């Protein structure tokens, strides 16, 4: 008897599944102003691949605010309503190929889809719900779990095993694929031993991503390289 092989696909959100057109970044500035009375144009913040909690930490450090748990929580709860309103105001979009691949992958026997994102969990839900993608992702790892992206891979894998069995995804190099758009996603995949498909749909171009040595690299999810990556991963 052969059992169905199980494959875990962990998706980043911003720059990979979608762009909010600046709704998230703008919300950070609004929240910082509202919560702490400090205007910051965020021009010194490197958003790409950073977790929401790490971005908050960068702002606290820049403005000499002690990063207490209460301050982090005040920032998070101020940010989320701004994000919710901004999603309707800013012109974002789902990245090319995402609406084709998600139903295809989700329908495969043994496929498990999850999130591996620097968003707060509620921010992830708001963004994905706005663009009609939330139902593909029953679980994930988020900025609420750790400000360090490299810590999120094992957390997501642990949650997947709690749902699908401790024996599942035994060999991350064969059974787990992380899909993301920044060098931080590539480092995160390396940190948990997973394979990595980098897509040049965010702020990093092919050359920038290639320098960090992802297992697979594609301009976007419509191209043949993406199809080949999913096929290689699936057949391994």
Binding residues for Mg ion, rule: CB under 5 A, are 12, 14-15, 181
Q: Minimum distance from CB of 4 to Mg ion (Å)? A: 30
Nearer to Mg ion, 6 or 140 (CB): 140
Q: Minimum distance from CB of 85 to Mg ion (Å)? A: 22
Residues 148, 136: Cα–Cα separation, whole Å = 24
Q: What contacts 69, CB < 8 A, 6 or more positions away?
A: none
Q: Minimum distance from CB of 101 to Mg ion (Å)? A: 16
Q: Minimum distance from CB of 98 to Mg ion (Å)? A: 13
Q: In a 3-state reduction of DSSP, which class is residue 8?
A: strand
Q: Minimum distance from CB of 13 to Mg ion (Å)? A: 6
Nearer to Mg ion, 15 or 183 (CB): 15
CB contact at 8 A, 200 and 162: no
CB contact at 8 A, 141 and 156: yes
Which residue has the closest beta carbon to Mg ion?
15
Positive or negative CA dihedral for 187, 21, 114, 103? negative
Nearer to Mg ion, 168 or 229 (CB): 229
CB contact at 8 A, 232 and 174: no
Nearer to Mg ion, 6 or 177 (CB): 177
Nearer to Mg ion, 14 or 175 (CB): 14
Residues 28, 19: Cα–Cα separation, whole Å = 15
CB contact at 8 A, 77 and 122: no
């Amino acid at each position: 008897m052969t059992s169905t092989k199980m494959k875990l696909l962990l998706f980043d959100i911003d720059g990979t599944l979608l762009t909010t057109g600046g709704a998230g970044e703008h919300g950070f500035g609004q929240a910082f102003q509202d919560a702490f009375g400090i205007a910051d144009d965020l021009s010194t913040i490197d958003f790409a691949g950073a977790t929401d909690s790490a971005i908050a930490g960068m702002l606290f450090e820049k403005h000499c605010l002690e990063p207490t748990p209460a301050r982090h929580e005040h920032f998070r709860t101020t940010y989320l309503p701004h994000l919710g309103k901004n999603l309707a105001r800013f012109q974002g979009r789902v990245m090319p190929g995402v609406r084709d691949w998600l139903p295809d992958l989700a329908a495969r026997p043994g496929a498990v889809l999850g999130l591996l994102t620097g968003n707060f969990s509620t921010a992830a839900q708001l963004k994905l719900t706005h663009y009609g993608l939330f139902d593909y992702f029953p679980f994930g790892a988020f900025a609420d779990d750790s400000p360090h992206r490299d810590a999120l891979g094992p957390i997501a894998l642990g949650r997947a095993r709690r749902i699908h069995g401790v024996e599942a995804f035994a060999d991350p190099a064969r059974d787990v694929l992380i899909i993301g758009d920044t060098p931080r996603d590539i480092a995160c995949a390396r940190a948990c031993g997973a394979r990595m498909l980098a897509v040049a749909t965010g702020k990093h171009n092919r050359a920038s991503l290639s320098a960090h040595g992802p297992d697979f690299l594609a301009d976007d999810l419509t191209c043949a390289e993406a199809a080949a990556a999913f096929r290689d991963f699936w057949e391994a």
